[in-house]
Amino acid sequence: MTRPLPGSGALGTGTFGAVVVGGGPAGLTAAIALAGAQVPTALIAGRPRPADNRTTALLASSVTALDTLAVWQRCRAQAAPLRVMRIIDDTGRLLRAPEVRFEAAEIGLEAFGYNIDNRHLIAAMAERAREIAALELIAQDAVDISISADAVSITLDDGSRVVAALAVAADGSRSPCRKAAGIETEGWSYPQTALTLTLRHSRPHHDISTEFHRPSGPFTLVPLPGLRSSLVFVTDPDDAARVGALPDDELAAEIEQRAHSILGKIELEPERGVFLLKVERARSLGARRVALVGEAAHVIPPIGAQGLNLGLRDAATIGELVAPAHRAGHDPGADDLISRYVEMRRADVTSRTLAVDLLNRSLLSDFLPLQGVRGLGLTLLQQFGPLRRAAMREGVAPSSAQPRLMRGEAL
């Protein structure tokens, strides 16, 4: 059975203009962008999964995009501004870098961005998605994806089918849509595990995010509203297993010690997350009527808060290409549109992946010259204002990719 859905036959190539597979933050954003621009869209959001205890540091340009999509207004109160970012060399090595402090005010911004619990962000996106008439929300999994010359056909849990001219694959790192399109991935893993926790603390964070660079990886405290912060604690797998097994009071004491007590006394909120660090990149961000967004396209280590910010730029870019194509009566899954998408996203994804990889390897490496280069880079950033300001501007609004939504322009 094919589901009777709105927009049926509008393009002559399928029941919908677009189908988005995956109801994580990248998929929700793509669906809101497309359907908000009147493209008849289905979001196959999947069966409910356990809640995500992570937080996301959203860069200012991502916040602008979410504001333009009428999402940000719904969760702004649950987000904390990031006004200052500090990097502290805690490696104890011979060649140590000075502390580097980046202040948003130095480049005329109130904040670099905002940190928010993923569950609040996703709830705000889901609320916005439910309002859009051109968006059909489907709480089922895609169990089969088949691609023909003029449509993508997706079979759901209940045996019904969704047909569309374009599939936006937002179905995470294992992406069944990516496999159906025949796109391979390349990548590598690191001898590192990230533990994620949410902390309550006795001293204020003053809207400062602090990244301690330790030999086994960064230990990053990111502000949340009030006397709360999120922690991404990257360490080697043995240490992660030991630390992860500690009872709450012992773990809180260990965190306080590794944080040099800058936030005072620490208490842990209940959930703990564990993530293996890896890079996994699709060899192409699209093919055969399928465009990849978010972790279906790229997984990178949680260093420098890049992952979802990249994913939101993917979603904004596919929206920017498909909305005018739909208005002009063109096929949104046509080869030339997909090729343009792949081209527009290449430099941004490649440069961010390489930068995060280099930073991480420079921490892990025992190779003195590499440690020296890292120390020199951080010293230059600390002492040379124009370079520091250029780095901050690039971090907030990447010159290689500023989709229209990131500039506050509706699609």
Binding site for ligand FAD (CB under 6 A): 21-27, 44, 46, 49, 54, 56-57, 141-142, 170-172, 176, 194, 196, 232, 275, 294-295, 302, 305-309, 311
Q: How far is the CB of 193 from ligand FAD (least distance, A)?
A: 10
Distance, CA of 36 to CA of 19 (rounded, Å): 14
DSSP letter at 205 equals -
Residue number with CB closer to ligand FAD (143 or 347): 143
- Contact between 130 and 37 under an 8 Å Cβ cutoff? The reply is no
Nearest alpha carbon to residue 375 among 352, 353, 359:
359
Q: How far is the CB of 398 from ligand FAD (least distance, A)?
A: 12
Q: 327: which 2 tokens? A: 């208005």
Residue number with CB closer to ligand FAD (89 or 117): 117
Q: 184: which 2 tokens? A: 């391979």
Count of Cβ atoms closer than 10 Å to residue 250 Cβ: 11
Residue number with CB closer to ligand FAD (382 or 402): 402
Q: How far is the CB of 4 from ligand FAD (least distance, A)?
A: 21
* 19 phi and psi angles, rounded to 5 deg: -120, 130
Q: How far is the CB of 188 from ligand FAD (least distance, A)?
A: 16
Distance, CA of 221 to CA of 216 (rounded, Å): 16
Residue number with CB closer to ligand FAD (36 or 176): 176
Q: How far is the CB of 210 from ligand FAD (least distance, A)?
A: 14
Q: How far is the CB of 144 from ligand FAD (least distance, A)?
A: 9
Inter-CA distances, 221 with 86, 258, 261, 262, 355, Å = 10, 11, 12, 10, 21
Q: How far is the CB of 329 from ligand FAD (least distance, A)?
A: 29
Residue number with CB closer to ligand FAD (218 or 375): 218
Q: How far is the CB of 369 from ligand FAD (least distance, A)?
A: 30
Residue number with CB closer to ligand FAD (54 or 228): 54
Residue number with CB closer to ligand FAD (170 or 338): 170
Residue number with CB closer to ligand FAD (119 or 340): 119
Nearest alpha carbon to residue 283 among 185, 182, 352, 189:
185
- Contact between 283 and 183 under an 8 Å Cβ cutoff? The reply is yes
Q: 127: which 2 tokens? A: 């609320």
- 55-59 sheet: strands from edge to edge: 55-59, 113-117, 79-82
Inter-CA distances, 403 with 68, 97, 394, 400, 407, Å = 12, 35, 14, 10, 7
Residue whose token pair is 């959930």: 271
Q: How far is the CB of 252 from ligand FAD (least distance, A)?
A: 19
Length of the chain: 411
Residue number with CB closer to ligand FAD (82 or 325): 82
Residue 227 burial by CB count (10 A; 0-12/13-18/19+): exposed, middle or buried?
middle
